[in-house]
Amino acid sequence: MPDTKNGRERKGRNKRNQLQESLYNDEMDALNTDDELPPFESEQTRGEEFLAEELPDED
């Protein structure tokens, strides 16, 4: 089959669609894995205090 400009353009569009779908699927997987992360706990919610009473002076 001869190589035509129309064929190359069509192949390029198909490849672009495949890449977009792959990126979309990867992003959806990443969003779904965020549900498995432990909840963020700040210093106030854990009830832990700083070890030092004051922050050191920066000279």
Angle (CA) 28-31-34 rounded to 5° is 150
Residue pointed to by tokens 């050191």: 56
Report residue 39 as tokens.
Answer: 């909840």
Q: What is the structure's pLDDT at 30?
A: 83
Instruction: Let me know: does 43 contact 50? Beta carbons within 8 Å.
Output: yes
- pLDDT tens-digit series, residues 27-55: 988 887 766 667 777 665 565 555 666 77
The span from the CA of 23 to the CA of 17, in Å, is 10
pTM for this one? 0.45
d(CA 1, CA 12): 17
